[in-house]
């Protein structure tokens, strides 16, 4: 991949990572509930989900999702159901300040935390179709494709690691100002509503959009 092409994709990658969506909600929710250091672990799952999307495109499965109504619908509704379920869980989460969570409500295991975040990005057919529309514009078909896909995946991973650090830190910093049970409950419900909204918006996505 030529440097000029990579720089163009690098700029596009920032736009992709900065765009608000379920991943940003997940990062902020983790920051709010777990603090920055532990909450940032969620980002590794989100990045793994993006890499899964890139891999699907690389092996041609992305084209199947983009052209098959059945495949698109199955993945879409799994993703919708998962986001709504996360929203309900967040909405109903107990309003405990971070200082008491370790003792009263142990955080999820690292594997579970990463796995939940992976599902959010991996089971998003809108992301597949979007990447399928964007990524080929930066590929040189006359050159080996595998190294180019690796560069693209690494670039998207880097920008997401940086952007999601900002989202996580923002929520973790906000958490320090929230002391009352009423404020914490309100924030849990805000993030729960955001997850459910993301699921509702995904439900409206149609193949080819």
pLDDT tens digits along 134-166? 777 777 877 888 888 899 999 999 999 999 999
pTM equals 0.70
- On the question of pLDDT at 42 being above 90, the answer is yes
Q: Which residue has the higher pLDDT, 149 or 21?
A: 149
What pLDDT is stored for residue 117 in this prediction?
92
Q: What is the DSSP string of 157-207?
A: HHHHHHHHHHHHHHHHHHHHT--SHHHHHHHHHHHHHHHHHHHHHHHH--T
Residue 171: predicted pLDDT: 85
Q: What is the pLDDT of residues 66-110, one digit of tens each?
A: 567 777 777 778 767 877 877 787 787 766 554 444 445 567 788
Sequence-distant (6+) residues with CB within 8 A of 189 are 90, 91
| Lowest-confidence segment of 25-39, 106-120, 170-184 by average pLDDT | 170-184
Q: How far apart are CA 24 and CA 17, in angstroms?
A: 9
Higher pLDDT, 87 or 202: 87
Tokens 């940032």 locate to 40
3 state DSSP class of 39 = helix
Cβ count near 22 (within 10 Å)? 28
Q: Extract the tokens encoding 79.
A: 């993703």
The structure tokens 């409206």 sit at 204
Give the angle subtended at the CA of 13 by the CAs of 79 and 141, to the nearest 5°: 95
Contact by Cβ (8 Å): 45, 116 = yes
Q: What is the mean pLDDT of residues 26-30?
A: 88
- 99 is written with which tokens? 């200082």
Q: What is d(CA 3, CA 112) in angstroms, rounded to the nearest whole number?
A: 38
Task: Measure the CA–CA gap between 63 and 98, rounded to whole angstroms.
Answer: 44
pLDDT number for residue 20: 67
- Cα dihedral 10, 11, 17, 19 in deg (nearest 10): -160
């Amino acid at each position: 991949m030529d440097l000029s092409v990579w720089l163009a994709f690098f700029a596009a990658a920032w736009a992709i990572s900065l765009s608000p969506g379920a991943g940003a909600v997940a990062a902020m929710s983790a920051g709010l509930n777990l603090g920055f250091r532990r909450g940032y672990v969620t980002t590794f799952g989100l990045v793994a989900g993006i890499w899964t999307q890139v891999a699907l495109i690389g092996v041609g499965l992305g084209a199947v999702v983009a052209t098959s109504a059945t495949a698109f619908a199955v993945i879409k509704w799994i993703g919708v159901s998962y986001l709504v379920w996360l929203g309900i869980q967040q909405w109903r989460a107990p309003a405990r300040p971070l200082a008491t969570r370790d003792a009263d409500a142990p955080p999820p295991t690292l594997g579970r935390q990463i796995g939940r975040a992976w599902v959010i990005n991996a089971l998003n057919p809108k992301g597949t179709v979007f990447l399928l529309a964007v990524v080929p514009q930066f590929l040189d078909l006359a050159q080996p494709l595998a190294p180019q896909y690796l560069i693209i995946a690494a670039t998207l991973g880097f920008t997401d690691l940086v952007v999601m650090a900002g989202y996580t830190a923002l929520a973790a910093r906000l958490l320090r100002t929230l002391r009352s049970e009423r404020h914490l409950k309100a924030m849990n419900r805000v993030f729960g509503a955001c997850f459910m909204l993301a699921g509702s918006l995904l439900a409206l996505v149609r193949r080819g959009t």
